[in-house]
Structure 1
Amino acid sequence: MLPPFAIAWPHDPPQFIQLYQHNAAAVAQELLQGLSAPQAFTSPKYLYDALGSRLFEAITELPEYDLTRTEAQLMRLHSADMALHMPAGACWIDLGAGNCEKAGRMLGPLQAGRYVAVDISVDFVRQALDSLQRQHPDLAMAGLGTDFSSGLELPDALGLDSAQARVLFYPGSSIGNFTPDQALGFLQSLHRACGTAMGSGLLIGVDLLKDAAELEAAYDDALGVTAAFDLNLLLHINRLVGSNFVVRDWRHLSRFNAEQSRVEMHLQARHAVQVQWPGGERLFAAGETIHTENACKWTLPNFEALLHAAGFAQTRAWTDPAQRFAVLWATA
């Protein structure tokens, strides 16, 4: 007999597979190409170093930014209805899992049969996955370290059963960081990753179009947390490429681009700034910006049309009463 403090695992402990390998030269090349473009830009993924990730967690607590709270409420209120539309016993593939908290609340109500936490590094999810395994000892789990921002590929090493339905879980409205064309290509890769088993599909969160002033406030809060999140990017770039950005030379800007239906985040030079890095430099004129993030906002019909264009079939949407945010289930 096991002692009372022992844990009996019905399955092996969580499996961890690390595919992504940091390539410092490739990262520097990508960043410097963007910084040297006529309209300087960076990928939003570089906002999330260790400090940036903590600052984003603080953003989700702000009164101006209710996206995370609204999504959690929708998941809680509609989990029973979701269970009627989604396959029981499916393999849940959690994209950008982080602390696994969002999926962890859904695994029981939606009767998951397996759980795969996907993030750029398995070290990000290791502790959370070990804890989640203790909460769900009958559920087989794995962690996959991969950069899925340009498309999702699931390695054979995961040992996924082609006959088991898959639920790809992409909460939080990160799909808004893609332009519509990029979003289409990304969703097409998710459709392929759903596999061929009957009932598979995508459960995704989408921030919906709303008043421009409200959107801009959500990305430029009164406490300045989002500004700190954006400005911290400069320190991250300095570490990655050896540049000499000085934070006090820049200010954070948030503006709604009505033509593109997106909020844009920019860092604007307060005055003429000469930025240097090994082998190059750039003079930023006063008022010139670095475009750091897009947050595209969708109407529900437009996003459902995008899902259909990506190959998904039927869709089911749950929204809050004011239709500020949506969670959609799209069958593959």
Structure 2
Amino acid sequence: MMNTNDTSLASRTANDFSADKMEFAADVIAGLSQPRKSLSCRWFYDARGSALFEDITELPEYYPTRTETLILRAHAEEIAARTKAGSLLVEYGSGSSRKTEILLSAIASLAAYVPIDVSDAALEEARVRLAERMPDLRVFPVVGDFLAEIDLPKDLARRPRLGFFPGSTIGNLTRSAAADLLHTMGLRLGSSSRLVVGVDLVKDPAVLVPAYDDAQGVTAAFNLNLLTRINRELDGDFDLDQFRHEAIWNAGESRIEMHLLSLRAQRVHILDKTFEFGAGEHVHTENSHKYSLDDFTALARRAGYRTLDRWVDDKSLFSVHDLVFDPA
């Protein structure tokens, strides 16, 4: 339940907040106003959240990053051989760009690298590192969501493009939304463009759940950091000790769900709003859908892609798909 006072959110945010914070505020308030409360995972990645996610990728339980890295190393030359000389490598949700270095090293003829991410801090860290390791590589970071407009120099605007969407981020979306996103990426990248996508596979929940609820509590800190960000940026007063991270395998939807569980009945204020939380009430923060190889190939086809190749590790934990946009 939510109560408001007479202060207008619109006037408050217009006077005090940037456009990004206004969007953050509106999204948080809308999510917590629903009968089943939710917070969007897109807001995980402030500077602290990005750093915590990098820590998650190093955890023994978290297999996706190291497994995808092994697959990319094994098949980078095949990806490079299909890439036209003078292409742009456009990465969606680039983060630290560490996996991307595998492709950047393999594709010698790239015209430029365009990383897109919501975290300015992550983009700057990647830019500085790449400038040291690959001084001849042109890098054009873009701060924004996956479908942000790319403002490129005229000499690059018409170059062929290779999209890169690693990390199984596609799994954060419902299947219909994933197909829509892939289709829109294809339209942005251009006809006959390629897209290399990392996709997590269905497997035993005994492997899946610990990857999202590790023994060291790093994923819990990552999830709870969203409440810290609300407190800092939106004048919230969440008591983090009264919420607990939970990861749940939803077999019917073939997805891991992350939640924040309210440990008692409590009231939280955000800007001029008041939200009531019941004891045991869940706030849904993220989905991570898992696919079979054939299920994802079919989804990509619906989105307008042909599959050129698909690779898996020897334990069938993770997959990488090389797609070409061919919607006709």
TM-score interval, normalised by the smaller of the two chains = 0.7 to 0.9
The corresponding residue for 2:269 is 276
**Which one of the candidate residues 167, 189, 203 is aligned to 1:194?**
189
Q: Distance in 2 between matches of 1:236 and 1:158?
A: 38
Q: CA deviation at 1:307?
A: 1.1
Report the AA paired with residue 155 of structure 1.
D
Q: CA deviation at 1:80?
A: 2.2
Report the AA paired with residue 104 of structure 2.
L
Tell me whether 1:38 sits opposite 2:27 in the alignment.
no
The corresponding residue for 1:109 is 106
The corresponding residue for 1:257 is 250
Q: Distance in 2 between matches of 1:193 and 1:172?
A: 20
**Which one of the candidate residues 285, 289, 305 is aligned to 1:292?**
285
Report the AA paired with residue 190 of structure 1.
M
The corresponding residue for 1:146 is 144
Q: CA deviation at 1:156?
A: 5.5
Indicate the RMSD between aligned Cα atoms, in angstroms.
Answer: 1.9
Tell me whether 1:83 sits opposite 2:86 in the alignment.
no
Report the AA paired with residue 174 of structure 1.
T
Tell me whether 1:160 sits opposite 2:160 in the alignment.
no
The corresponding residue for 1:98 is 95
| 1:279-304 deviation line (CA, Å, top 9, x unaligned) | 32122111101001111111111111
Identity %: 39
Compute the TM-score of the two structures, normalised by the length of structure 2: 0.87
Report the AA paired with residue 320 of structure 2.
V
| 1:163-202 deviation line (CA, Å, top 9, x unaligned) | x321111111111111112111111111012213x5x210
**Which one of the candidate residues 206, 210, 214 is aligned to 2:199?**
206
Alignment of 1:21-32 (within 5 A): 22-32=19-29
Aligned CA distance change for structure 1 residues 158 and 120 (closer, same or farther; 3 Å)? farther
| 1:5-64 deviation line (CA, Å, top 9, x unaligned) | xxxxxxxxxxxxxxxx74322221111110111110011022222222221111111111
| 1:114-135 deviation line (CA, Å, top 9, x unaligned) | 2112222555423532442443
Q: Distance in 1 between matches of 2:296 and 2:149?
A: 23
The corresponding residue for 1:119 is 117
For the Cα contact (< 8 Å) 2:111–2:156, is it kept in 1? Answer: no
Compute the TM-score of the two structures, normalised by the length of structure 1: 0.86
The corresponding residue for 2:12 is none
Aligned CA distance change for structure 1 residues 205 and 320 (closer, same or farther; 3 Å)? same
The corresponding residue for 1:73 is 70
Aligned CA distance change for structure 1 residues 121 and 244 (closer, same or farther; 3 Å)? closer
| 1:130-149 deviation line (CA, Å, top 9, x unaligned) | 4424433443332222222x
- Say how many residue pairs are matched: 307
Q: Distance in 1 between matches of 2:33 and 2:285?
A: 14
Report the AA paired with residue 277 of structure 1.
I
Report the AA paired with residue 225 of structure 1.
V
For the Cα contact (< 8 Å) 2:267–2:277, is it kept in 1? Answer: yes
Report the AA paired with residue 49 of structure 1.
D
Q: CA deviation at 1:159?
A: 5.0
Tell me whether 1:183 sits opposite 2:214 in the alignment.
no
| 1:249-278 deviation line (CA, Å, top 9, x unaligned) | 111111011111100000111111111223
Tell me whether 1:48 sits opposite 2:41 in the alignment.
no
For the Cα contact (< 8 Å) 1:70–1:320, is it kept in 2? Answer: yes
**Which one of the candidate residues 130, 133, 139 is aligned to 1:132?**
130
Report the AA paired with residue 248 of structure 2.
R
Unpaired runs of 5+ in structure 2?
A: 1-17
